[in-house]
Structure 1
Amino acid sequence: MPNPRLTGLGGGLFCGAVMFALGCVDQLLFGASMVVYGVLFLPVCALTAVWVRRGDLVIAPVVVPIAFAFGLLPVAGDGGGGIGGRLMGLFTALAVQAGWLYGGTLIAGLISTVRKARLMTRQAAQRGAAQPQARRRPV
């Protein structure tokens, strides 16, 4: 399995590009099925949280909702045509599919939190090993 380390910007671009591509594929193959789009969103969230660099862990739960909205552009209905109709379809899709959005954000947040906790534990252990043992004085 590849082990890329994406910067915060790279993680956002990766997630956004993949969700837009999946939205286009969903539109072509499944006729804009929101269930398929939502199910495909969850592993993208997990991959984004796993592949982001340790220093940029906080960005993963931030970029996945933005990528979800960006990927909805080809999937959301046109709402009657025009830019206003397209925006209305996008906002409606965001409101109706909020469960998928919250679930993916939760996945990214949990993975990032666990990774950060492990990183902090590892750093504390390294600092403890680097410090000399203090001598105990008898009481």
Structure 2
Amino acid sequence: MPRPRLTGLGAGLLSTASMVVAGAVAWLLPAGAQTVVFGVLFLPVCALTGLWVRPADLAMGPVVVPLAYAVGVLPVAEGGGAGFTGQVMGLVTTLALNAGWLYGGTLVAGVIVTVRKVRLMSAARRKARSAPRRPAAEQAAPRTGQEAGQSGQSGRRAPRSRVAP
């Protein structure tokens, strides 16, 4: 499985483009199956968006998928009548009647992003714990010239020669 790292904008564009294609495929089906097929295709898009968004943009995963759903559902939205107002009413009706798919997909993306964030935080905590540290007594005591690698000079380091001996 490829591990691309998408920015928040890239994840939004990928999920929106995928949902537009899914809407076009669902539009070819009979009227009763359109929204179900669209919803089923929405779930893997949400999972991939949650997996592929980069760690710095993890919060964007659950934000962009509902927007992608709303844009992608336009081809299969119930026709509310002629004109712009009728199309908007059809879109709102379709979104309201299929809110389960929308909430489910957003939940899938949210859970994946949350698990990834918790794993990143625990890995950072483990890394910080395993980093070598100087003992507290050694940190408080000033270092002498020889401990610091100085050869008896008063606070100055000897310049290194760039020419090989």
TM bucket normalised to smaller:
over 0.9
> Secondary structure of 1:29's match?
coil
How large is the RMSD of aligned CA atoms in angstroms? 1.5
Is residue 39 of structure 2 the alignment partner of residue 38 of structure 1?
Answer: yes
- 125-134 or 16-25, larger mean C-alpha shift: 125-134
Name the count of aligned residue pairs. 136
| 1:59 aligned partner, one-letter code | M
- 26-35 or 43-52, larger mean C-alpha shift: 26-35
| 2:107 aligned partner, one-letter code | L
Q: Give the 5 Å matches for 1:30-69.
A: 30-31=30-31, 33-69=34-70
Is residue 125 of structure 2 the alignment partner of residue 121 of structure 1?
Answer: no
Q: 2:155 maps to which residue?
A: none
User: CA offsets, 1:10-65, max 9 Å, x none?
Assistant: 00000011001100111013446111111110010000000000110000000010
- Aligned-residue sequence identity (percent) comes to 57
Runs of 4+ more than 2 Å apart: 29-32, 133-136
TM-score, normalization by structure 2: 0.78
Q: 2:78 maps to which residue?
A: 77
| 1:93 aligned partner, one-letter code | T
Cα separation, 1, equivalents of 2:121 and 2:134: 21
- 125-134 or 99-108, larger mean C-alpha shift: 125-134
TM-score, normalization by structure 1: 0.92
Is residue 11 of structure 2 the alignment partner of residue 23 of structure 1?
Answer: no
User: Based on CA coordinates, which of the two structures has the bigger radius of gyration?
Assistant: 2
Q: 1:11 maps to which residue?
A: 11
Cα separation, 2, equivalents of 1:58 and 1:115: 11
Cα separation, 1, equivalents of 2:55 and 2:44: 19
Shift in Å at residue 78 of structure 1?
A: 2.1
Cα separation, 1, equivalents of 2:92 and 2:82: 14
Shift in Å at residue 2 of structure 1?
A: 1.3
Is residue 106 of structure 2 the alignment partner of residue 93 of structure 1?
Answer: no
Cα separation, 2, equivalents of 1:59 and 1:116: 12
More helix by percentage: 1
> Secondary structure of 1:33's match?
helix
> Secondary structure of 2:74's match?
coil
Compare relative contact order (CA 8 Å, sep 6+) and give the higher one, 1 or 2: 1
Q: 1:104 maps to which residue?
A: 105
Unmatched tracts of structure 2, length 5 or more:
138-165
